[in-house]
Amino acid sequence: MVERARIILGCLEGRRVQQIAREGGTRPNTVIKWRQRFVQGGLAGLRDAPRPGARPVYGADFRTQVLAVLETTPSAGQACWDGPAVAVKLGGSVHAVWRGLRQEGICLQRQRSWCVSTDKEFAAKAANIVGLYLNPPENALVISVDEKPSIQALERATGYVETDNSKIVRGCKSTYKRHGTLNFFAALQMATGLIQTSATTLIEPRIIE
C-alpha cells in the first residue's frame, strides 16, 4: 500500500512514469496499472481485488470419508488409526487428513488412561472423600496428600489388553513399586493455626535386569 500511494503521489506531482518507476524500484507497467486503478476507483482501487484462488482439491466429502474410515477397523498390524494410514486408505494427502481432523477437533495420538481399583470398598471410601470436599466440617482444615514425589523410578507391569469393543490398548498395572521415596511430614499447631512441614528424600538404588 505504501508503494502504491507513492506511485499515485508521483503521478499527481506530474512526474513521468519512468521516473516514478526508477525512484520506487519497480517497473513502469506497475506504475501504469495502479494509476489506472486509481483513476477508476480512487483510493478503493488501490486495494487488492478479490481473487478466486486455487480450486480446493479436497472438499467436505473428503472430510466425511475420513470420519467414516475412523469408524472402521484399523489396518492389519495397527491398534488404532493414524494420519498416514488414513491417507493410504483413502488415497489422499496426509496433510488433508490432518487438516480435516483439526477442524473436527480430533487428535488420533491422544492418550487416555483410567485406573480400576481392586479394593471392594473403593466406592464407599471414594464417596467419603468426595463428601468431605463438597461439605467440609465447620472450622476444619482439609488437607489433600497425594503420592506424587519427584522421583519417578517406577516398576510396574505393562502390556496390552482388549477392551469391550475389541480394541487393543496399552495397559499398566495399578500397583507398582517405587525405587525411591519422598517422605512428607506435617504438623498443625492448634493454637496458632500454622502448619510446619518437613520433607526428606530416600533413594533406594537397585539394578533392574
Question: Can you give the residue ranges of every domain in the chain?
Answer: 2-46, 60-104, 151-209
Helical packing angle, 28-41 and 17-24, nearest 10°: 110
CA distance 191 to 24: 81
| Rounded Cα–Cα distance for residues 172 and 160 (Å) | 8
**How many angstroms separate the Cα of 92 from the Cα of each of 61, 63, 65, 76, 83?**
12, 11, 11, 19, 11
Q: What pLDDT score was predicted for residue 116?
A: 72
Distance of CA 104 to the CA centre of its chain: 13
**CA-wise closest residue to 156 among 169, 179, 171, 173:** 173
Output the pLDDT for position 146.
62
- The answer to whether 7 touches 31, Cβ cutoff 8 Å, is yes
Q: What is the maximum alpha-carbon separation in the chain?
A: 93
Which pLDDT score, from 0 to 100, does residue 100 have? Answer: 86
190 contacts 132 by C-beta, under 8 angstroms: no
pLDDT of residue 29: 93
> Taken in order 119, 129, 163, 157, is the CA torsion positive or negative?
negative
- CA distance to 41, 44, 66, 103, 133, per residue, from 121 (Å): 79, 75, 44, 44, 19
Q: Mean pLDDT score of the chain, rounded to an integer?
A: 77
- Write the DSSP string, 57-97: SS-HHHHHHHHHHHTSPPPTT-SS--HHHHHHHHTS-HHHH
Residue 54 has a pLDDT of: 77
What pTM did the predictor assign?
0.36
Tens place of pLDDT per residue across the chain (209 aa): 899 999 999 999 999 999 999 988 999 999 999 999 999 988 888 888 887 777 778 877 888 898 888 888 887 888 788 889 999 999 988 999 988 888 888 887 776 666 777 788 888 888 888 888 888 778 777 776 665 555 566 677 776 667 676 666 666 776 777 666 555 566 666 666 665 655 444 444 333 33
pLDDT at residue 209, rounded to an integer = 31
